[in-house]
Amino acid sequence: MKRNFAFVGGHPILDFCNTIFIHSNSMLDLFESKADIERWSKDLSLQHKIDFTHLDLSVEVASQLRTLLRSLFESAILAKSSTTSLKKLNTIFHNHPITTHVEFSEELTFSFVPGQFSNQGIAWLQIQLQDFLLKSQPHRLKKCENPNCSHLFYDKSKSATRTWCSMSGCGNVMKSRKFRNGLKSR
Ligand SMILES: [Zn+2]
């Protein structure tokens, strides 16, 4: 069954992590085939209005990187370090260097390209992670409080007090649950 992807992370790197999540008490993995990754790439470029052809990664490498990134982010949310994941992720990144490419058309611009022996998908993830870490404030990185969700998201609200990945989805579910519990305890 083809499932729709959720783009509630607020950043491509979090949306990438959110392609696996808790659903009906088990983990649901949306990357079952390379075609799923291609489909996700297309949806992502539309959602984030970025120029992005596709994420060139095998299902195995994509899920390995996703597990590592997810573990790092989840630890960071708890203000902890995940030494094993850090070591593994850094080893992969060090083996897949990216190169700065400078261009001039009306003004000087630069972009990152995969190094000579590098992989486009791993390079893209490194760039997205750099971008996220440069722009983000640690306290705004969160995990949805709906126990049947587990999506990661970046809280862009002014007060930084959002607890659900999306107001229309988990926000409503949690609100009606609170309401029902309130009725029961009366
Ligand atoms: Zn959620």
Q: What is the pTM of this model?
A: 0.90
Read off the pLDDT of each residue in 66-78 and give the average, rounded to a whole number. Answer: 97
Instruction: Say how far apart CA 78 and CA 162 lie, in whole Å.
Output: 16
pLDDT at residue 148 greater than cutoff 70: yes
Instruction: Say how far apart CA 20 and CA 17 lie, in whole Å.
Output: 7
Burial class (CB in 10 A: 0-12, 13-18, 19+), 152: buried
pLDDT at residue 184 greater than cutoff 70: no
DSSP label at residue 5: P
Distance between Cα 163 and ligand 1 center (Å): 9
Distance between Cα 41 and ligand 1 center (Å): 21
186 pLDDT band, cuts 50/70/90, is low
Could you report the per-residue pLDDT of 77-127, keeping only the tens digit for each?
999 999 999 999 999 999 999 999 999 999 999 988 888 878 999 999 999
Instruction: Say how far apart CA 146 and CA 116 lie, in whole Å.
Output: 43
Distance between Cα 27 and ligand 1 center (Å): 14
Query: Taking the domain 12-184, which CATH number applies?
Result: 1.10.3300.10
Give the rounded percent of residues in the chain with a pLDDT score beyond 90.
71
Find the angle CA(7)-CA(12)-CA(17) to the nearest 5 degrees. 75
Distance between Cα 167 and ligand 1 center (Å): 9
Q: Which long-range contacts (CB under 8 A, 24 or more apart) does 121-126 make?
A: 121/55, 121/56, 121/57, 121/61, 121/62, 122/57, 122/61, 122/65, 122/92, 122/93, 122/96, 123/96, 123/98, 124/52, 124/55, 125/13, 125/16, 125/65, 125/69, 126/93, 126/96, 126/98
Distance between Cα 22 and ligand 1 center (Å): 10
Q: Provide the pLDDT for residue 185.
A: 63
Instruction: Say how far apart CA 63 and CA 143 lie, in whole Å.
Output: 19
Read off the pLDDT of each residue in 65-73 and give the average, rounded to a whole number. Answer: 97
Could you report the per-residue pLDDT of 33-54, keeping only the tens digit for each?
999 999 999 999 999 988 877 8
Binning the chain into helix, strand and coil, the percentages to the nearest 5 are 50, 15, 35
